[in-house]
Amino acid sequence: MARPRKKIDWKTVANLCGIQCTLAEISSVLDVSDDTIQRACQREHKMPFGDYLKRHRLKGFVSIRRKQYEVATAGNVSMLIWLGKNWLDQRDQPDPPMPDESEFYETVSQEMCDAVFPPGSTPATAVPRPDLPPGAMPSVGIGRPIEQQEA
């Protein structure tokens, strides 16, 4: 005759999962083996204990999140800052400033000159590139002429 099965209090197990206890800790509290809990879970809940644990751990996360929100909305500045950083991607430091527009236009103008005139010359002293047909403007990509980008 087989030994009687140990009764598992699933409400206690769910609560322990919710406070992020491990299988070993749950087994210790219930005074049963890990295997007993795993077999009982498969038999009574039709799922591996890992799935059961995950489901109830997530419920615990929701409880923590709810309490954090309550504390923050009650005026806890530290919690408001923490939630802002972790939920809203807020930072202590502002975004870096945008580059000065004049630098951008100076760079683009220089790139256009480099595309039309031989390197090292200026528009005032140079003749247009000999490889371009008269009056033609080369297409310019970001940073260098397209013909150089494709190479």
Tens of pLDDT, residue by residue over 57-71, are: 988 888 888 888 898
Whole-number Å distance between alpha carbons of 73 and 142: 48
pTM confidence score? 0.51
pLDDT number for residue 149: 47
pLDDT number for residue 115: 66
Q: How far is CA 120 from CA 3, 116, 151, in A?
A: 94, 12, 21
pLDDT number for residue 61: 85
Give the chain's residues under pLDDT 70: 95, 97-151
pLDDT number for residue 13: 97
